[in-house]
Amino acid sequence: GAVVSQHPSWVICKSGTSVKIECRSLDFQATTMFWYRQFPKQSLMLMATSNEGSKATYEQGVEKDKFLINHASLTLSTLTVTSAHPEDSSFYICSARAIGGYTDTQYFGPGTRLTVL
């Protein structure tokens, strides 16, 4: 299957700092990438849809000024958590959509575990 990488895999930061997470599709081009957040023992929550060359589409309740998304190329999307606070501590996972014959398929990156002190 298609490979998606994320960097960093984990990060610990102080409250008030900004953290940037990269998501790359390694062996395919992805015009669309997705950012999810998952709290412990809870289901995946879609935060936003990242489209190459255009603004991201945010889900209801997700602050676009706090979670900045940039999809600069067909293989790279970044999520920046600005002025992070302890309540932002979570597992952030990206996925990239690979175009298929009948249906597109989403492949997930390994995730980034963010801990805000």
Partner 1 sequence: QKEVEQNSGPLSVPEGAIASLNCTYSDRGSQSFFWYRQYSGKSPELIMFIYSNGDKEDGRFTAQLNKASQYVSLLIRDSQPSDSATYLCAVLKGGSQGNLIFGKGTKLSVKP
Q: Supply the minimum distance, in Å, between the C-beta of residue 1 and partner 1.
A: 6
Contact residues for partner 1, defined by CB under 8 A: 1, 32, 34, 43-44, 46, 49, 91, 93, 95, 102-111
Q: Supply the minimum distance, in Å, between the C-beta of residue 111 and partner 1.
A: 4
Residue 96 has, within 13 A of its CA and on its CB side, a CA count of: 28
Q: Quote helix, strand, coil % in the chain, to nearest 5.
A: 5, 55, 45
Q: Supply the minimum distance, in Å, between the C-beta of residue 113 and partner 1.
A: 8
